[in-house]
Structure 1
Amino acid sequence: MHARAPAPSPDLSARIDAAIARAIDEKRIVGAVVLVARDGETVYRRAMGLADRELNVPMREDTLFRLASVSKLFVSVAAMVLISQGRLSLDAPVTTWLPEFRPTLPDGSAATITIRHLFTHTAGLGYGFLEPEDGPYHRVGVSDGMDRAEISLHENLRRLASVPLLFTPGTAWLYSLSIDVLGAIVSAAFGGSLPVAIGALLARPLGLADTGFVVPDPARLAAAYADDSPAPRRMSEPDRIPMLEGLADIVMDPSRAFDPEAFPSGGAGMIGRADETLRLLEALRKGGEPLLPTALVCEMGRVQTGEVAVAGWPGWGYGLGFSVLKDAAAAGTSESPGTWRWGGAYGHSWFVDRARKLSVVAFTNTALEGMSGGGRFPQEICRAIYGG
Structure 2
Amino acid sequence: MSTDFSDVALAARIDTLLDLVLREQRLVGAVVLVRHRGCEMYRRAAGYLDREAGKLMRDDALFRLASVSKPIVSAAALALVGQGRLQLDDPVAQWLPYFQPRQADGRLAAITVHQLLTHTAGLDYGFFQPPGGPYAQAGVSDGMDASRVSLQDNLRRLAGVPLAFAPGQRWAYSIATDVLGGVIEQAAGLPLVQAVRQLVTAPLGMHDTDFVAVDHARLAVAYADCVAGQPQPRRLHDSGDDHLPFLDGMAGFTLSPARALDAAAYASGGAGMVGSAPDFMRLLETLRLGGAPLLPPGLASEMGRSHTGEMALPFWPGRGFGLGFTVLTDPLLAGTAESAGSWRMGGTYGHSWFVDPLRELSVVAFTNTAIEGMAGPFVEQLCRAVYGEDLA
Q: Which residue of 2 aligns with 1:274?
A: 277
In 2, the alpha carbon distance for the partners of 1:176 and 1:221 equals 27
Aligned-pair distance for 1:7?
A: 3.1
- Paired residues in the alignment total 384
Deviations along 1:124-174, whole A, 9 cap, x unmatched?
000001111121101010000000101100000000000000100011111
Aligned-pair distance for 1:187?
A: 1.1
Kindly tell me: are residues 157 and 58 of structure 1, through their superposed partners in 2, closer, same or farther at Cα, counting changes over 3 Å?
A: same
Aligned-pair distance for 1:6?
A: 4.1
Task: Work out whether residues 5 and 356 of structure 1, in 8 Å CA contact, stay in contact via their aligned partners in 2.
Answer: no
Aligned-pair distance for 1:258?
A: 1.2
Q: Which residue of 1 aligns with 2:235?
A: 234
> In the alignment, residue 291 of structure 1 is paired with which amino acid?
L
Aligned-pair distance for 1:110?
A: 1.2
Q: Which residue of 1 aligns with 2:387?
A: 386
Task: Work out whether residues 147 and 256 of structure 1, in 8 Å CA contact, stay in contact via their aligned partners in 2.
Answer: yes
In 2, the alpha carbon distance for the partners of 1:170 and 1:279 equals 32
- Identical positions, percent: 56
Aligned-pair distance for 1:4?
A: 3.4
Task: Work out whether residues 66 and 271 of structure 1, in 8 Å CA contact, stay in contact via their aligned partners in 2.
Answer: yes
Alignment of 1:92-171 (within 5 A): 92-171=90-169
Equivalent residue of 1:132, what SS? coil
Task: Work out whether residues 84 and 292 of structure 1, in 8 Å CA contact, stay in contact via their aligned partners in 2.
Answer: yes
In 1, the alpha carbon distance for the partners of 2:2 and 2:163 equals 44
Q: Which residue of 1 aligns with 2:201?
A: 203
Aligned residues: CA RMSD:
0.8
Out of 290, 294, 299, the residue aligned to residue 296 of structure 1 is 299
Q: Which residue of 2 aligns with 1:307?
A: 310
Deviations along 1:151-203, whole A, 9 cap, x unmatched?
10000000000000010001111110000000111111111111101110011
Q: Gaps spanning 5+ residues in structure 2: where?
A: none
Q: Gaps spanning 5+ residues in structure 1: where?
A: none
Aligned-pair distance for 1:306?
A: 0.5
The list of structure 1 runs, each at least 4 consecutive aligned residues, that deviate by more than 6 angstroms after superposition, is: none
> In the alignment, residue 183 of structure 1 is paired with which amino acid?
G
> In the alignment, residue 123 of structure 2 is paired with which amino acid?
L
> In the alignment, residue 232 of structure 2 is paired with which amino acid?
A
Aligned-pair distance for 1:31?
A: 0.5
Alignment of 1:5-20 (within 5 A): 5-20=3-18
Equivalent residue of 1:381, what SS? helix
Q: Does 1:252 align with 2:255?
A: yes
Aligned-pair distance for 1:28?
A: 0.3
In 2, the alpha carbon distance for the partners of 1:87 and 1:6 equals 44
Q: Which residue of 1 aligns with 2:56?
A: 58
In 1, the alpha carbon distance for the partners of 2:379 and 2:285 equals 19
Q: Does 1:325 align with 2:323?
A: no
Deviations along 1:236-281, whole A, 9 cap, x unmatched?
1421111110110210010111111000000000000000000000
Q: Which residue of 2 aligns with 1:264?
A: 267
In 1, the alpha carbon distance for the partners of 2:147 and 2:2 equals 48
TM-score under structure 1 length normalisation: 0.98
In 1, the alpha carbon distance for the partners of 2:9 and 2:115 equals 42
Task: Work out whether residues 301 and 324 of structure 1, in 8 Å CA contact, stay in contact via their aligned partners in 2.
Answer: yes
Task: Work out whether residues 6 and 41 of structure 2, in 8 Å CA contact, stay in contact via their aligned partners in 1.
Answer: no
Task: Work out whether residues 4 and 356 of structure 1, in 8 Å CA contact, stay in contact via their aligned partners in 2.
Answer: no
In 2, the alpha carbon distance for the partners of 1:310 and 1:22 equals 31
Out of 272, 284, 287, the residue aligned to residue 284 of structure 1 is 287
> In the alignment, residue 311 of structure 1 is paired with which amino acid?
P
Alignment of 1:29-68 (within 5 A): 29-68=27-66
Task: Work out whether residues 29 and 364 of structure 1, in 8 Å CA contact, stay in contact via their aligned partners in 2.
Answer: yes
> In the alignment, residue 235 of structure 2 is paired with which amino acid?
R
In 1, the alpha carbon distance for the partners of 2:202 and 2:271 equals 21
> In the alignment, residue 382 of structure 1 is paired with which amino acid?
C
Q: Which residue of 1 aligns with 2:343?
A: 340
In 1, the alpha carbon distance for the partners of 2:274 and 2:250 equals 27
In 1, the alpha carbon distance for the partners of 2:19 and 2:203 equals 35
In 2, the alpha carbon distance for the partners of 1:317 and 1:187 equals 28
In 1, the alpha carbon distance for the partners of 2:113 and 2:5 equals 40
> In the alignment, residue 381 of structure 2 is paired with which amino acid?
E
Q: Which residue of 1 aligns with 2:72?
A: 74
Equivalent residue of 2:217, what SS? helix
Aligned-pair distance for 1:230?
A: 2.2
